């Protein structure tokens, strides 16, 4: 019987793009991820188009979509992520997987996501040093924030903002009005 070999991040990095595309590396195994729906992609793109200029103009760091990071030997690509200027020197333009974690990770819930899967991912992000994790739930029009300052669920006219990106403010209703 052949021995099962777990993949490392370096192994993942060497995979051809077509093998690694739409996959995450979890506990040494490739895990397929589903493509986003129109609603999912619209919310993701809204963050990059609207929040990106605030980050860029304020020289606050980088905001990127679908960037892969090393979360304790696992590879995850939050739908949107932000990292501050202190981490800019760590970014390697030649690597698929960045060897640090973002300060903010935003996950937009898709039809194939499970509560337990999102919970494990959120726990891993936070345990590895991500300051804030936002879980955006289009179906219930809520945003759950897990942060050092406390966890909270935002709905309706509640303001979505973060100390990580000064100047960014929007209500939850405004966020979901874009779709």
pLDDT confidence of residue 134: 97
Q: Report whether 175 contacts 143 (CB < 8 A).
A: yes
What is the distance between the alpha carbons of residues 14 and 49, in angstroms, rounded to a whole number? 31
- pLDDT tens per residue across span 87-112: 999 999 999 999 999 999 999 998 78
- Most confident of the ranges 24-38, 112-126, 148-162: 148-162
pLDDT(8) > 50: yes
Helix extents (H) in the chain: 9-14, 17-20, 38-46, 52-57, 115-127, 172-176
Residues 6+ apart with CB under 8 A from 174: none
Sequence spans of domains, the chain? 36-176
**Distance of alpha carbon 33 from its chain centroid, rounded?**
13
Q: Which fold has domain 36-176?
A: tt1808, chain A (3.90.1570)
Q: In this structure, what token pair is assigned to residue 12?
A: 């993942």
Residues 19-38: tens digit of each pLDDT: 878 777 888 787 877 777 88
Indicate if the pLDDT at residue 115 is higher than 70. yes
Give pLDDT, residue 5. Answer: 63
Query: Per-residue pLDDT for 1 more than 70?
Result: no
Strands (E), the chain: 23-26, 29-32, 62-65, 68-71, 74-76, 80-83, 97-98, 104-108, 132-137, 142-147, 152-155, 159-161, 169-171
120 has a pLDDT exceeding 70: yes
Looking at per-residue pLDDT, the higher value among 155 and 1 belongs to: 155
In this prediction the pTM is 0.90
């Amino acid at each position: 019987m052949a021995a099962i070999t777990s993949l490392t991040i370096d192994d993942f990095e060497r995979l051809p793009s077509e093998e690694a595309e739409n996959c995450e590396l979890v506990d040494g195994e490739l895990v397929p991820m589903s493509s986003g729906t129109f609603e999912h992609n619209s919310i993701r793109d809204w963050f990059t188009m609207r929040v990106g200029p605030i980050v860029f103009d304020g020289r606050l760091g980088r905001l990127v979509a679908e960037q892969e990071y090393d979360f304790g030997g696992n590879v995850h690509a939050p739908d949107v992520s932000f990292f501050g200027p202190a981490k800019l020197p760590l970014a390697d333009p030649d690597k698929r997987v960045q060897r640090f974690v973002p300060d903010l990770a935003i996950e937009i819930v898709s039809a194939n996501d499970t509560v337990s899967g999102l919970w494990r991912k959120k726990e891993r992000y936070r345990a590895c040093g991500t300051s804030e994790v936002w879980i955006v739930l289009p179906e219930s029009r809520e945003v759950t924030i897990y942060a050092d300052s406390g966890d909270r669920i935002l709905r309706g006219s509640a303001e979505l903002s973060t100390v990580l990106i000064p100047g960014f403010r929007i209500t939850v209703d405004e966020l979901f009005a874009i779709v």
